[in-house]
Amino acid sequence: MKEEDRIMQGILFSPAHPDLKALKRKAHKLSQQYSQTFEDEVEDRERILQEALGHIGEASFIQGPVFFHYGVHTRIGRNFFANYNLTIQDDALVTIGDYTSFGPNVTIVTPIHPLIASERRRMLDQNGEEKPLCYAKPVTIGNDVWISANVTICGGVTIGDGCVIGAGSVVTRDIPAHSLAAGVPCKVIRPITEEDSMRYKPEVMADCNVIWHHADDEKEED
């Protein structure tokens, strides 16, 4: 079994394995290249992201600087936006949906290390050799999610469609769809409902208007 397969199965692996180190070196190099580009270097940025990531959908924009640990383990949907200092330590798979946006300094970390100090130093691998070992859990973020500034998302977490995660939160457990959640650790505050529409904030809306979506039209027809 390849070391990368062990990651995907959620079992202990050696992060220092030569195959994994080669993947990480490539991702780190591409991250650095991207971080040194300017916003108007659109073609160069697109080329780097296509090479660095497992997938990135159309009309997506990442401000930079960025850091991807493996890169190829990250899959991003359409119309994604990320502000400054995005860090994705994607040992395990990281999946991000369409129309999802990140504020500055968002971090996603998938690896998990033993709590016992001696076990963090060394354990016996599948061949009986002493090595530092860890494991990793995937992260899944749905469509139309807003992740505010300075949020950390830990391995094993799923954030459902339409969620808003408050600034500075540390997300250690799943957040159900259409929830407003915040805190350390992050907890659901309440559901996001129709009453949260900007339609009910005329003092902010001024001379602007919301767009009626198909779901709203269908409700009216019903």
Task: Give catalytic residues, as residue numbers.
Answer: 113
Q: Tell me the C-alpha distance between 215 and 32, whole Å.
A: 42
Half-sphere exposure of 4 (CA within 13 A, CB side): 12
Residue matched to tokens 């992050």: 186
**Helix 42-52 × helix 18-35 angle, to 10°:** 160
Asked if residue 19 lies in contact with residue 5, where contact means CB atoms within 8 angstroms, the answer is no
User: Hey, what are 135's tokens?
Assistant: 């494991």
AA letter at 78: R
User: Hey, what are 189's tokens?
Assistant: 């505050």
